[in-house]
Structure formats: structure tokens, C-alpha cells
Amino acid sequence: MSDHDYAQTQRWRGTTILSVRKGSDVVIAGDGQVSMGHTVLKNNARKLRRLGRENNIIAGFAGATADAFTLFERLESKLEAHPGQLTRACVELAKDWRTDKYLRRLEALMAVCDKSTSLILTGTGDVVEPQDGIIGIGSGGNYALAAARAPYDQDLSAGDIALRSIRIAAGICVYTNDNIIVEKL
């Protein structure tokens, strides 16, 4: 095994973040597993954070912890510069993320929501608002996304859908566990 191959197998993995917007509710849920290679290092990590002056924004992060803190801090400063304008703050962060020499190396995804907007942010400069109000990111994100779409039209709350969906993802994705935190606006 080459040094590059070994380094790739030892990468930090293990996040499933799911946001569900239904009616007037929006939630972001995240699992607690942090893995390196094939080893679980921690099972109760907190990958969600409330942001903004009034804690009226929730963000979830898929990527390395140091990258998360860096991006959360940058987003907070953009929110201070553009109060009440989540989309504009996220676009400004995405611009920096794409063009800044240091930030450009961060391989990560963020799900960010306020009462009216849900966004996915990427290091390639993308700021996407999903059509259906459901976001799934991280290693188990697509599993959770599919699991959330299936019961969406049933009489379930956004929180119930998110919780059930991450549990389904945890049963499929080895980098996801069922130690789930849910934040609601």
C-alpha cells in the first residue's frame, strides 16, 4: 500500500446530517459517529450548531472537526455583516470558500436553515436551496434523504421524519450511528 493509499484509508469519515422542512417547522438532525478509516473514534459527537444573534439559524456539518469550526466561525461573521439575510451570508461564505487559498482546501458540506430557507453549501461555491425542503449530506446523507422523502406526505412531524430517517441511514451506512441530535426552529 502506498503512502497516498494509506492516507486515504485513514481519512476522517462518518456524518449523516438531515434537514427536513415541513409546514412551519424545520429541523436538522445529525448522528454522533466519528470514524477514522475503519475505526469508530467517538459515538456522541455534536455536528449541529445554532448560529446568529438570536440562535435562529441551525447549521449541520459533514467533514473534519477543525474545518467545521472554521466554517461555522466564517458563517457567523457573514451573518453579522448581513443580519436577517441567510442566503446572502451563505453566498458570501461560498465565494470565500471557493477563492480563499486556505479555505479552498476544506472538503466539506454544510446544511444551513432558518425559519424560511434551507441551503446546502459546498466548497466548490455551490449554494443550493432544495426544491422539496429536504437536505441530506455526509456519508449516510443519501440514505437519510431517501428515507425522509418516502413518508413526507404522511401525518408525521418534521422531527419524526428526521429521526426515523437517520435511524434508517444508521442501519445501512457503517459511518453513521443512531446517537442522534435533533435541533428544531
**154-177 pLDDT per residue, tens:** 999 999 999 999 999 999 999 999
Known catalytic residue: 117? no
- Which residue ranges make up each domain of the chain? 3-176
Q: Given 9, 15, 39, 65, which residue is catalytic?
A: 15
pLDDT digits (tens, 9 = 90+) for 61-109: 988 777 778 888 989 999 999 999 999 999 999 888 878 776 666 677 8
CATH code of domain 3-176: 3.60.20.10
Global pTM value: 0.89
Rounded percentage of the chain residues whose pLDDT exceeds 90: 64
Task: Quote the strand ranges of 63-132, DSSP E.
Answer: 109-113, 118-122, 127-128
pLDDT digits (tens, 9 = 90+) for 107-128: 778 999 999 999 999 877 789 9
pLDDT value at residue 9: 41
First to last CA, the chain: 47
